[in-house]
Amino acid sequence: MQKLLAIAALALLALPFQAQAQAAAATPRSDADCAQLLERWAGDPKAAPKSEINACKDQLAAIAPAAGPAPEPVAAVDPCSGPDAGSSVLCWGPWAALAPAAAAPLVSLDFPETFIECDSVAELASQCVPQLTLVPPVEGCQPGTPCGFATIVAGSTSSGDAEDTAFGRIDLAPDGTRFSIDPDTGEPIDSVPMTTVVTPRPDDGYGNLRSTGREGDVGSRLIARVEQDDDGEIKLAADIWTHGTRENARSGYFAWGTATSQAGLNALNAGNVSVNFTGPMSVNNSTTGNMTVNFGGNPNWTGTWTNAAWSFGAGGTVSGPNLISRPDQFTSNVTGSGNFVQGAIVGEQGGPRGLTHIIDVTLEGPGRIKDVGLLRDVVAGPVIAP
Amino acid sequence: MNIRNVAGALLLIAAGSTAQAASLALVPAADPVVQNGAFTVNLVVNAADAPGIHPGLQSGAIRVDFDRTLLTYNSFTLASGLIFFSPLAVTTNGNAQTLTLGFQNAPDAGPVGTFSFTATGPVGSLATLGLVDADDLFGSFVNKAVSDKPYVPTFTGTQVSISAVPLPAGIWLLGTAVGALAARRRLKPR
């Protein structure tokens, strides 16, 4: 009887606590409390009853999508947009140079200077799209502005070894009375004022320009093929420039025009047209260049350079009026590193139009070749209906 | 152009065909030349070895110097198919006279044109015709076939001696006959 009484007393005493416990279980915990409880439970499985733990799990699972931290916008998680972009695997493109293996020489890939740009192509993009942007070795051209390239050698012969030949940008007065050259390295070259004469050329529709000037011991000259408009303004020009004194002259070859305007480029891209350009190179004029520019949403180009001794091919991208080769699009006989073809589309539809460009390639056999050339568009003949 | 001109030009071309460098030369049609008589001098190019594509289109500017007390310049005729990019100009400095001209579209080898002079100097004098590139700083010669390729040719002038006016053969015969008659008359017995 005493035992029964003792059990009844204990049951009575326990009732409030049991009710309290049930109340506690029934009372929803705050999300923060649940999180704390789960955290403690993770370290100590006996920290709370399993029912409480399960309740908290259910509670947090139910509220997580709504109450969790808002997802960051795509741009904010773009792994290529931050300062650590270079460390992100999503942003790694081709290396400019391979890390040297143990005791091995540093091997350079065929890339000129490049940088990787990671675009988020759309707001919904879940990850960036690595994009290879090729940096032109020589400053590119702006639409609608004068645009030319030149080789530069010491002396007045215009030619030299490829290793001793530099590249630069050339600008030319539309009347041919002045020119200036901005070399990759070294001092800029500004011609003295020159007098010009243009005479007919028998073979190819070009005119022959001769411009010469002298100020004391310093002289300048241009000997060039030119194409002029009806007002006599030079629209395309190519071949020889020389400047300096008898003892200290510089010279070279050049190709010059006015880069196609943005409106002209837009029209070409909208038309998805392909334009073929052809002509002789200037340094080695037995070499014929043929290039095809495919306009459109993703404009690109291909080209070949051929003479009796060698030939090679290349291809690349088009950005505005500028063309630059892609290292993976050279033919296999182009070896070594640093090979490039760079150019610009000059002139407008309906007028004199061409492609000014420079090449710097090393070929198996012939070795290194540097050249500059003005190619003109190949006007397709009339389509004859069958 | 007379046969002598052509022969001279061809000789020069033949001689130049074995040369390693392009050349420009003045080739007189005759030497000696007769005092107060007109004579011609060919300007001949040989650029078969010049850089660039061949057949070429040779172009350049030249300067011809001479003593105007010995020679008088008359004219210059450009060879067929060639054009001036710089027409002939005559300048005088004391006794020195200079002819300057620029031409283009010349073939790899052959005459560029023909100068005509009159020999006005004294009998026995030697008249020199100097030939140089008109651009003494960088040179002016290019092969324009396909595109422009510069080169520096060698330049060869010429000299002509001035001789007395030759008497016609009939004069000599007449003189001989007259002399013979006179001698016979003197020696004839009376």
Q: Domain of B74: which CATH number?
A: 2.60.40.680
A199 contact residues in B (CB cutoff 8 A): 83-85, 104
A281 contact residues in B (CB cutoff 8 A): 147
- Domain holding A280, by residue range, is 262-377
Asked whether residue A314 falls in the same domain as residue A225, the answer is no
Residues 6+ apart with CB under 8 A from A8: none
CB-nearest to B148 from A223, A245, A286 is A223
Residue of A280, A314, A313, A277 whose CA lies nearest to A295: A277
Asked whether residue A231 falls in the same domain as residue A285, the answer is no
B147 contact residues in A (CB cutoff 8 A): 225, 238-239, 280-282, 285
When scoring B137, B142, B143, B151 by the number of chain A Cβ atoms within 10 A, the one with the most, hence best to mutate, is B137
What pTM value is reported for the model? 0.72
Domain count within chain A: 3
Q: Is residue B189 part of a domain?
A: no
Of residues A89 and A283, the one with the higher pLDDT is: A283
| pLDDT tens-digit readout, A46-80 | 667 767 777 766 776 665 444 334 434 433 445 45
Cα–Cα dist A151/A158, whole Å = 8
B80 touches chain A (CB under 8 A): no
Domain end position, chosen among A60, A80, A101: A60
Asked whether residue A269 falls in the same domain as residue A357, the answer is yes
Strands B158-163 and B33-34: parallel
Asked whether residue A214 falls in the same domain as residue A291, the answer is no
Cα–Cα dist A154/A274, whole Å = 39
A82's tokens: 């931050």
| Bridge partners for A274 per DSSP | A294
Domain count within chain B: 1
Asked whether residue A251 falls in the same domain as residue A286, the answer is no
What's residue A71's pLDDT? Answer: 38
ipTM field: 0.80
Tens-digit pLDDT profile for chain B (190 aa)? Answer: 444 444 444 444 444 443 458 999 999 999 999 999 999 999 999 999 999 999 999 999 999 999 999 999 999 999 999 999 999 999 999 999 999 999 999 999 999 999 999 999 999 999 999 999 999 999 999 999 999 999 999 999 999 999 997 767 666 677 777 778 887 777 776 5
CATH code at A338?
2.40.160
A246 touches chain B (CB under 8 A): yes
Asked whether residue A300 falls in the same domain as residue A356, the answer is yes
What's residue A49's pLDDT? Answer: 72
Q: Is the pLDDT of residue A32 over 80?
A: no
Separation in Å, CA of A161 to nearest CA in chain B: 16
Q: Above pLDDT 70, what percent of chain A?
A: 67
Helix (H) or strand (E) holding A22: helix A2-26
What's residue B178's pLDDT? Answer: 78
- Domain holding B144, by residue range, is 21-179
SS3 B186: helix
